Amino acid sequence: MSTLDGLKTLVTGAGGGIGAACAKALAAAGADVAVVDIDKEAAENVAEGCSKFGVNAISISADCGDLGAIDSMVSKALAEMGRLDVIVNNAGVTRHAHIMDLDEQDWDRMFRVNAKGVFFCMQRAAKAMIAQGSGRIINIASIAGRGYYGTSNCAYAGTKGAVLAMTYVAAHQLGPNNINVNAICPGVTYTSIVEGLLSARSTERGITIEELKAEVGKSIPIQRGNDPEDIAAMAVFLAGPGARNITGQGFNVDGGLINS
């Protein structure tokens, strides 16, 4: 028997990067997975990969900054799977920018998905979980939310700080309903988004991406950044039986980059 056999799970922003790794890891552990992404084709491709583990995997195209789309997403997942045991709130956006280069459009775009989207995905999932008497909510935050200065931009850090604060309060309010709420705070994780950020930063400094990655690696105590699978492993743990009494926590997966 696999660790998560029979669980019904949903992962947002799962068309690539951390979200795709989480969806595949949950499937490998025996869970059925609803793969959600704004990119319909990307979601379908990841769902197809998940189904190879012998589980039921469905794809849902949804904009996780839109409340109507969130409602439809949860409704479709419930209709297809019957219940919702785990949601991984991973969808997020950012861009590489100095504080003085950010404008209102940047602020609204990031808070719309990274904070508003996470809140309403939590709320809508929690409604189903309260009705069934249990559930796990896993929010993907960031060490940026703890003040890591090497992040993509200041406003993005604010969105992830909001995710952490919402995680702590939601855990307190949903605990009596047997719902665990935790956050994962990735450090430097090599996804396509981060590769783009590194490309912009290396161009600014006039060095190669390889040279920049080498610098970043030296700044991490364990001497390497994350692969998306490192974050997925923590998500599988938090979804599983070993985490039944863990709630209201934010877990850094960052190779020791920060200590808060």
Query: Helix (H, G, I), strand (E, B), or coil: what is residue 34?
Result: strand
49: exposed, middle or buried (Cβ count in 10 Å: 0-12, 13-18, 19+): middle
- The radius of gyration of the chain's CA atoms, rounded to the nearest angstrom, is 18
Taking every pair of C-alpha atoms in the chain, what is the biggest distance, in angstroms? Answer: 56
Q: Which of 148, 156, 168, 190 is catalytic?
A: 156
Which CA distances in Å does 205 have to 32, 61, 110, 152?
Answer: 45, 38, 26, 15
CA distance 136 to 244: 9
Q: Catalytic residue at 168?
A: no
254: exposed, middle or buried (Cβ count in 10 Å: 0-12, 13-18, 19+): buried
* b/e burial code for range 180-189 (CB count within 10 A of at least 16 → b): bbbbbbbbbb
Q: How, if at all, do strands 179-186 and 250-253 pair? A: parallel
Which CA distances in Å does 58 have to 52, 61, 204, 249?
Answer: 12, 10, 41, 29
Residue with tokens 């660790």, as numbered in its chain: 3
Catalytic positions, written as ranges: 156
